[in-house]
Structure 1
Amino acid sequence: MPPIPKFIEDKLENDKNETEKGHFPYVITKVDEDVNNELLRYFTGEKTGFVQVGPKKWFFPSGYEQEAANYYNFMFRPSDVIVATFPRSGTTWVQEMVWLLVNNLDYQKAAEIPLDDRFPFLEYSCFVHKATKAEFMAENASDNEKLAILQDWDVPAWKILGKSTGPRFIKTHLPFTLLPPDLLNVGCKVIYVARNPKDVAVSFYHLNRLARTQGYIGDFSRYWGCFERNLQPWTPYWEHIKEGWERRKEENMQFYFYEDINKDLREQYDVLENHLKIENFKNNKSVNSDLCKRLGIFAKEEQGFVRKGEIGGWKDYFDEKLNGKADQWIQENLKDTDIVFPIVNK
């Protein structure tokens, strides 16, 4: 691997994130040392460790601690449109659909401007560890254009969004607990999407293998153990879903199941349906994080960012024993709620 140019090293060393002052009401603690060491062994993109936040123990990489108050105090605007999900719940698919519907089905503009620019990811920067970023820069040391892109790769989205004019589209996986308390009162529209946890886990497993910022190197069974024990970013999964479900009747809030939106797509415009068909969508460079692939942030041997989007694909990953364990976990967490996931016969 070629060395990082000296001017890049100096810039990395001196790149101190600006932070806005603001109150953050929750205690942030480090994960148990033994658990942390185990996680670092299998999730190679994080170099420092992991933290848990508040009484629900929301799980994040070390970079979250510095940015927590900025997310909690972010100034949303009445004109904002937010897609909020637990990861891998059909998020990218819903983002593209929402953006197109709001923008009069402007397919040309959608193709010209990457979805990440049209629909910034609020907390992405805290998942880019400085040491992992340095690795990407070293690998691209001979390409000044890529170095320039990577240098700004971890600029916090709240800074960029703060300078934006006009209506903003914002993606977040943060639970309501960690977002501004007045989020649903400022007038912006929040679309919350939930998906069957087995399909979520399989998709999240593949993303963790694909994205070198996570760099997962274990098998699915081990990954499921982390997911089930709430040792994955943005978990606990069930608390996340419950928070969305409990607020589904509030003004400015819409709650959907991915399975229902997918099923009802035929009721939408014919052209939009064709655009969003998963076989077309997964090859759309505008939404498939193609830049991450070109910069080496995505592992070449893994599946794409938009993978299959299918319903019931979990059946290829859960053997009988693991499926029984997962069903017990699901039933235990649903028993005191009125959440009912759509039944899909596939």
Structure 2
Amino acid sequence: MSKHLNDYSSDDQLEVPFEIEDLDPNINKKLLQDFGGERTGFIQVGKKKWFFPNAFRHHISRFHDFEVRPNDVWIVTFPRSGTTVTQELIWLLLNDLDYKTASQITLFERYPFMEANCMFHPEFRAELLQENINFEENYKLIKKLSESVCDHLDQMKERRFIKTHLPLSLLPKNLLTVGCKVIYIARNPKDLAVSYYHHNRLIRVHGFKKDFPTFWEYFSNNLVVWAPYWEHILEAWKENNRENMLFLFYENLNKNLKESIINIQNFLGTKFTDDQLSLLENHLKIDNFRKNSSVNYSLWRDLGIFDKNEQSFIRKGKTGESKSYFDENLEKKANDWIELHLKDTDLKFPAFN
């Protein structure tokens, strides 16, 4: 029987947000060379050693103690698991398919990213401000990125849509019992790692400069932000029978978008016609989605948060792209690693290779 979040003892609850360790100095030195966005160093949190930039040490308790509301709608994922497209899908279903408002207000504003302000190291933020010193609006927006998202969420009167990449054990302990809606998406580790590799190269707060095999070594050794990957997914998988949590696989979302939309509609309790859902499906298709400035974070490119020499935020959205990134030796290492972590679980990905 799985251990539910509200079954944790008081010691467990204290351990999650407050047991914080600095990374080994030698490993940290190497990471700082390869991930240029962080300047101070990395930490590991709790017994599972969740991996974060240094700034998270000041916010872990805030996340864990955040006050959940029964009408909240949360999306919880490891990065690059289909988060963005599912955010847009959920928001539109619960806002009467209001495409006009969705096009006018960015997804980042409509669906706040809980830990976003922790990602911008003060030195990197200062560099961004200097780069935008002659662009008043950009300058204001960059300054705003340092503001607490939790404080902003606390002040909201309307229904809250909340995105996070934090694992369940670092989120509020009553998240799965208070009655709010929680959607978790999992993606197979090979495709996810490829997508996350490009993401870490694109976004300068990460600033990864090396090749994919090097990134895979970090990823498979739990030395990328929000790792460990397996603990993240398995925590949620153990809770997948919760009435207010829907556990999805990215592969199913990718293979049959319409079916996934219907599945999510049933979970949320909305009732749109087949024709309306077909229009929503078309809106969410990758070619249309990539061109949608409200969801593709084009503003971040203008602010200098993206490396303009890298691929776009919305990439290919394909299953199986990883095949071209793994040579024979790396493929074997990856398969052995995956087999090791799946052998004592009943978790199976719909599409694996």
Q: Distance in 2 between matches of 1:255 and 1:125?
A: 27
CA apart distance, 1:272 = 1.0
Q: Distance in 2 between matches of 1:37 and 1:264?
A: 44
**Hey, what does 2:229 align to over in structure 1?**
237
What's the CA shift string for 1:105-135, capped at 9, x where partnerless? Answer: 1111111110000000001111110000000
TM-score if structure 1 supplies the norm length? 0.91
> Which of these residues, 335, 338, 346, is aligned with residue 327 of structure 1?
335
**Hey, what does 1:220 align to over in structure 2?**
212
SS in 2 for 1:282: helix
The alignment of Structure 1 onto Structure 2 pairs a total of residues equal to 324
1:281 corresponds to 2:289: yes
CA apart distance, 1:340 = 0.6
**Does the 8 Å contact 2:64/2:171 carry over to 1?**
yes
Q: Distance in 2 between matches of 1:71 and 1:187?
A: 18
What's the CA shift string for 1:79-112, capped at 9, x where partnerless? Answer: 1000000110000011111111111211111111
One-letter amino acid of the counterpart of residue 46, structure 2: G
CA apart distance, 1:172 = 0.5
SS in 1 for 2:176: helix
> Which of these residues, 323, 326, 337, is aligned with residue 315 of structure 1?
323
Q: Distance in 2 between matches of 1:311 and 1:184?
A: 30
**Does the 8 Å contact 2:76/2:164 carry over to 1?**
yes
One-letter amino acid of the counterpart of residue 200, structure 1: L
1:247 corresponds to 2:247: no
One-letter amino acid of the counterpart of residue 333, structure 1: H
SS in 2 for 1:171: strand
**Hey, what does 2:274 align to over in structure 1?**
none
**Hey, what does 1:108 align to over in structure 2?**
100
1:146 corresponds to 2:154: no
TM-score if structure 2 supplies the norm length? 0.90
1:136 corresponds to 2:144: no
1:55 corresponds to 2:81: no
One-letter amino acid of the counterpart of residue 305, structure 1: F
Q: Distance in 2 between matches of 1:128 and 1:344?
A: 34
Aligned counterparts, 1:1-346, within 5 A: 25-267=17-259, 268=261, 269-343=277-351
Q: Distance in 1 between matches of 2:17 and 2:150?
A: 19
SS in 2 for 1:63: helix
SS in 2 for 1:84: strand
Q: Distance in 2 between matches of 1:53 and 1:75?
A: 21
One-letter amino acid of the counterpart of residue 67, structure 1: H
Unaligned runs of 5+ in 2: 1-12, 262-276
SS in 1 for 2:101: helix
Q: Distance in 2 between matches of 1:344 and 1:281?
A: 25
SS in 2 for 1:314: helix
CA apart distance, 1:146 = 1.2
**Hey, what does 1:12 align to over in structure 2?**
none
CA apart distance, 1:262 = 2.2
SS in 2 for 1:158: helix
When structure 1 is superposed on structure 2, of 314-323 and 26-35 the one drifting more is 314-323
What's the CA shift string for 1:193-221, capped at 9, x where partnerless? Answer: 00011111011111110001111111111
**Does the 8 Å contact 2:186/2:248 carry over to 1?**
yes
What's the CA shift string for 1:10-54, capped at 9, x where partnerless? Answer: xxxxxxxxxxxx966541000000000000001000000000011
One-letter amino acid of the counterpart of residue 255, structure 2: K
SS in 1 for 2:222: coil
Q: Distance in 2 between matches of 1:344 and 1:108?
A: 37
CA apart distance, 1:144 = 1.5
CA apart distance, 1:344 = 6.1
Runs of 4+ in 1 over 3 A off after TM superposition: 22-26
Unaligned runs of 5+ in 1: 1-21
Q: Distance in 2 between matches of 1:283 and 1:299?
A: 18
What's the CA shift string for 1:214-242, capped at 9, x where partnerless? Answer: 11111111000000000001111000010
One-letter amino acid of the counterpart of residue 340, structure 2: E
One-letter amino acid of the counterpart of residue 118, structure 2: C
CA apart distance, 1:291 = 1.2
CA apart distance, 1:142 = 1.1
SS in 2 for 1:302: coil
SS in 1 for 2:75: strand
